[in-house]
Structure 1
Amino acid sequence: MSVLLFSVRAICVFVWIILGLLSVVCIFPIAPLSVRAAMNHRWSQVLMWLCGVRVRILGEPVLDGAALWVANHVSWVDIFVLNSVRPMSFIAKSDIRRWPLIGWLVAGAGTVFIERGQRQAVRLVGEQMKTRFERGDVVGLFPEGTTSPGFDVMPFHSSLFDAALRAHVDIQPVALRFLHRGRRSDYVAFVGEQNLIQNLWCLLGTTQVVVEAEFLRVMDTGLCQEMGRSKVSSQAHRAIRDAVRSL
């Protein structure tokens, strides 16, 4: 059954990704930002449906104006889970850009890639974040810098919080919890030595995968200015960690 399910879903996902790439190449260059954002939003919703992932939204996400969504990181699907709530730009490690198909797709959709190890990387990414905030976008950040099994939250890197503080935008922590067949699980977590194909086998060959996206209280903007990036990062980490470990 898992082989048949995987085969059907894999074909559908492949076709959907190809259609997404065609949209990026043919439509995005001439479409206004609002149309591109709506297409990204709807495309992500359909992708999660094709993958068999049910997204359960808890709390009150910021749906208007510029904001920074700060989330824990469990899988490559995190990007599309959040994008299915509201279209956004993401900060992602440059390795993702080299992934076949998905890497090309997220690059064309406006993902900001950070080259680790380069001295100017944080500054360059900060400038791109500023541009997106100025046009009223949400930027998604995974400050752990890598994925985890999803039962806890690793320490945050605080450097990219600076751009949000300078722009005086809302910072909203988001806790992602993965469930498989009704229980918390790391079955589809993208961790360790697992490659993308192996992870797709797990995800597309199973059923009843749910991702809970709990949007926590927006952090007080004025207080964030007083605290500075390190304390803001620590407070966001604590809020997300408490929510991730709550069930």
Structure 2
Amino acid sequence: MIAWIRITLAIAFVLLVSLVLMPVHLLLLWLRHRWRNRLPRLWHKCALWAIGVRVIVHGAAETRRPLMVAANHVSWLDILVLSSVVDATFVAKAEVRDWPVFGPLARLQRSIFIKREERRQTREQADEMASRLNAGETVVLFPEGTTTDGNRLGELKSSLFAAASSAAHFAPDGVVHVQPVSVAYTKLHGMAMGHYDRPIAAWPGDVELMPHLIGILKAGALDVEVRFGDTIEVMVGTNRKHVGNFVREQLRDMLEKSLRGR
């Protein structure tokens, strides 16, 4: 009973914040004001507070632009977490556009929707990412292409880094900065999470969205660690597999530190 009261209050709070901020956000989008990418950070901070998620940050986002962030992917919750610390534009699979709750939010945040199975559109999608990067937006992608169980790093799809090379053609200094960022769910009610507990936060593809959302709300009091890694400079002609290998090693090292409590 107490859990459902907490869930009701959390949902009511998020709805109230949304009603206050959404008209302002729509106006900023219409005006193309620079704060159109900053206001969502406030909404995500409020949503995480209501859900009971505490974000612990190690390091800081790269200040140079253009900037692409490459993060590991554990759950839909990653988007709220990363959006609370970075003014982010996300690269998402096309299906997200039609999801309940998160679809409209993704559209409001001007996410870039891609169809990975349609190779004909790969160039167009890379060009859109490049355009956003050179417009000063921080583009966040999940190079694993899918979520994991939160205990490991999946295989990275280096083809997604092609957008960084494309953007370098038009970047002022001919350089795009790619920064690995790890997301690790580490504690539940102050106690370290092990392999058994981490699926509470992790969202594997065979679990429906709404039941998992309710599960997160019931659990509450989650700690998540975000670590910002070293940046690699990508220029025209930079081998994307080299970029992928660099990102992979950074993410593995940072995840190990977070999951082992270092």
Normalized against structure 2, the TM-score is what? 0.85
TM superposition shift of 1:86: 1.8
Counterpart of 2:8, as a letter, is S
1:186 equivalent in structure 2: 199
Q: Is the 8 A contact 2:67 2:133 kept in 1?
A: yes
CA shift in 2, pair 1:15/1:115, >3 Å: farther
TM superposition shift of 1:29: 4.0
Q: Is the 8 A contact 2:18 2:43 kept in 1?
A: no
* Residues 1:195 and 2:193 are matched in the alignment: no
Alignment gaps of 5+ in structure 2: 169-174
1:244 equivalent in structure 2: 255
Q: Is the 8 A contact 2:88 2:138 kept in 1?
A: yes
Looking at structure 1, the residues matched to 130 and 8 of structure 2 have their Cα atoms a distance apart, in angstroms, of 42
Q: Is the 8 A contact 1:17 1:105 kept in 2?
A: no
CA shift in 2, pair 1:17/1:199, >3 Å: farther
- Count of residue correspondences: 244
Alignment gaps of 5+ in structure 1: none
Q: Is the 8 A contact 2:165 2:237 kept in 1?
A: no
Q: CA RMSD in A?
A: 2.0
- CA deviation profile, 1:51-101 (whole Å, cap 9, x unmatched): 211111101211442211101001112122112112121100111111123
- Map 1:36-75; keep pairs closer than 5 Å: 36-75=36-75
TM superposition shift of 1:207: 2.6
Looking at structure 1, the residues matched to 12 and 209 of structure 2 have their Cα atoms a distance apart, in angstroms, of 16
- Map 1:28-39; keep pairs closer than 5 Å: 28-39=28-39
1:204 equivalent in structure 2: 217
TM superposition shift of 1:192: 4.0
TM superposition shift of 1:105: 1.7
Q: Is the 8 A contact 1:20 1:105 kept in 2?
A: no
- CA deviation profile, 1:201-232 (whole Å, cap 9, x unmatched): 1111123211111001112x26x767500121
Q: Is the 8 A contact 1:63 1:86 kept in 2?
A: no
Q: Secondary structure at the match of 1:89?
A: strand
Looking at structure 2, the residues matched to 23 and 95 of structure 1 have their Cα atoms a distance apart, in angstroms, of 27
- CA deviation profile, 1:169-192 (whole Å, cap 9, x unmatched): 111111111022331323121114
1:11 equivalent in structure 2: 12
Moved more, 231-240 or 180-189: 180-189
Looking at structure 2, the residues matched to 33 and 143 of structure 1 have their Cα atoms a distance apart, in angstroms, of 29
Counterpart of 1:199, as a letter, is H
